[in-house]
Amino acid sequence: MLQVTTSWDDGDALDVKLAVLLQKYDIAGTFYVTRDYRKNSLSSEDIRNVATRHEVGAHSLTHPDLRTLTTEQKKDEIQGSKKWLEELLGKEVPMFCYPSGHFDAESERIAREAGFKGARTTKPGEIRLSGNSFQMPTTLGVYPMPFRKTGPHTFYWRELLQPLRERAPGLRSLGVPLRAFRSWEALACATFDIALKRGEVFHLWGHSWEIERYDMWESLKRVLRYIGNRDDCQYVTNGELIREV
């Protein structure tokens, strides 16, 4: 049975809207939150409310590139985020997500020593369970396709084909047809169909603030409707997924 999981980064206030949307389609979410990063961040009450229906994971305190920090700075960011959230929620926080997916061997080691059970990356194009719970990959991010945008109807002309260039190779290797790259919605549904036929996991991830920036809420709703409420799928959080590793 295909395991479907979703995860959402940064802890923007729009995560509240996203959490409600996931509930509508009975899809589990893991929300990786920061304490001091987003200008419009989730309040303490918001985080507690999201945690009643979904999983909340740590995403560092300030969202730095962990690779650039000293050992002590890494500990402050990784251990500190766990301590902050566990005091806020009054329960264990088992999952960590490397900010922007950037990490090194020391960051992974510190996450392990901090007591996390796993950590998510941003590596795309995977439909198999990872053998290393501290290098959890993803399948697909919520992001405009095939052109890079700066807003709902404006484009970043200098890097216009960046989404296609960066995401196509891994997804094409899974057998996703080229015609599916005409839109993010078509790509998500086609990738899900392949995962359903021969995969172990379908992991959708993104940022609620990007969904807002690129006006992707309706497209996301249609994809969630497509992948949700299926008898041949199991809907799990990231933390529940690593228990299968």
224 assigned to some structural domain: yes
Per the listing, tokens 């902050």 go with: 84
pLDDT in tens, 94-112: 999 999 999 999 999 999 9
- Please name which of 114, 70, 118, 157 lies closest in space to residue 238, comparing C-alpha atoms: 118
Q: Counting beta carbons within 10 angstroms of the beta carbon of residue 84, is it exposed (0 to 12), middle (13 to 18) or buried (19 or more)? A: middle
- Please name which of 2, 86, 6, 5 lies closest in space to residue 47, comparing C-alpha atoms: 86
pLDDT in tens, 165-196: 999 999 999 999 999 999 999 999 999 999 99
174 assigned to some structural domain: no
52 assigned to some structural domain: yes
121 assigned to some structural domain: yes
Count of structural domains within the chain? 1
Domain region containing 44 = 2-142+200-242
pLDDT in tens, 5-38: 999 999 999 999 999 999 999 999 999 999 999 9
pLDDT confidence of residue 245: 58
185 assigned to some structural domain: no
Per the listing, tokens 């090194």 go with: 104
pLDDT in tens, 125-152: 999 998 999 999 999 999 999 999 999 9
This prediction's pTM: 0.97
Domain at 206, CATH number: 3.20.20.370
Close Cβ partners of 38 (under 8 Å, ≥ 6 residues apart): 10, 11, 12, 13, 209
pLDDT confidence of residue 243: 81
Q: What's the CA dihedral at 104, 81, 83, 96 to 10 degrees?
A: -60
125 assigned to some structural domain: yes
154 assigned to some structural domain: no
For the record, the structure tokens of 137 come out as 């990959």
177 assigned to some structural domain: no
